[in-house]
Structure 1
């Protein structure tokens, strides 16, 4: 095994690219759960955004347009989940799982004619001065615009939830929807808006997979990224800064195991590769089995159905 073949600069740069789609999906899901809704359909929304963004980019020749349409598709798919759970009061867990299955099936149908095709990707931004810095420039300041937009989105969500009145209302709905309703806030409207925002972020993350990270369409290319995003939200205790750290840690593990394989390490790599998915399963089991005691700073009304006349 030759560890000297691993370039630390390229490793960190690849980490940021690998983490971006999961970060986008996780920060959107965090907002959804802050409103008191548990949407397990992140995987379905991501794969929908991936296929729609890719199809738009292929047919128009513009990956930017793909990034514009993909979040709209994700938001539209998530709206179906919102209507079923908030208006018709269906079970959130079952509906979220159904959304994932629908997204996977729909993407397979739409993407079948496009398998193996490649599309143009986003150009890297060469930030003046900063991009020319030795080591750090290539590591942090030579990425495409979506990497930086994802970081700005985390900052914006943090500021929104902490400092704005609308953010306070959203958190109030997630902590006690009955109290929020008694104060005159439109609980269902707030939750629908949060659900659509989460769907848009997941669609954007999916588009990043098919247009930048792997600029071609492959069936099932999300490969569990949506479930990882769900687990990261729990690990992060529903805090934006920790979501960022969690996404980058997972991205780091993914990139590291690929680099170790390239360096010639054959033993143990499979365990490193499978560990995030095993941890994801464990977290989801804990959520399902003991939602109150197994959570840390979880919104008090998370997963609970609201009805104004109850």
Structure 2
């Protein structure tokens, strides 16, 4: 099977931890052929079909020259066995335009994972609104007055932008409200941008758990991302320590309930974030942590994913 990965530049991959790389490696191990491109390489012209300028690659097993490539070529997306959309956030206008191009490719016969409409309809911060029974106190607003009222009620809060990743732009404000006004101004740009505000969850000390859901089924191990030192963020990109651990019965039930609904919508891979027992984000663009879980537990998450991908392409799920 020919697979196309739409991702960030290959030259920027940190292969020792990159989840997209682990998918590629497992796919190549099974004999699948691999090509890569960025969203900027996807194009369409009337009278034709959606194509991309792609780089056919072969993984070498070496570092840093971890791939060898053939000359770039234009290929119709429908001619691939599957197209994997793995572009990292931000979830901005260009990302949305890319989903429209991929949706057109679907109409022409392409198989895209995760499904473009589902990516567009489940922005990672806001997707939790569908699951109020699983989340802590949360506010989504542009209003500085609403944020101040939320803080007055809950005293200890987290503020974050809707388009961030890896812990970018996250602030904690305690009961003294120190710098709350400045933080609001920074995040909501004078009321022009929407902000998410959540009650601080002290359970973050035990880790922000990444729970992977593949084709509706929770992976049996999670990665608890534990803040280090004075840092409030557990994100690995913000210096958090990743500790793999068996999934709890409570987290499995929550993940299964969400997975049963979202998988049929075309979300083959989901990264659920839970602090304590509260869901804080539902990541669908490029969920990570495959390699960390595999290396620490032996649970072969890349193989579980490629199994599910092969079933999806074969029409068995």
Superposition TM-score tier, normalisation by shorter sequence: under 0.3
TM-score (norm 1): 0.25
Structure of greater relative contact order (alpha carbons < 8 Å, 6+ residues apart): 1
TM-score (norm 2): 0.24
Q: Which has more helix, going by share of residues?
A: 1
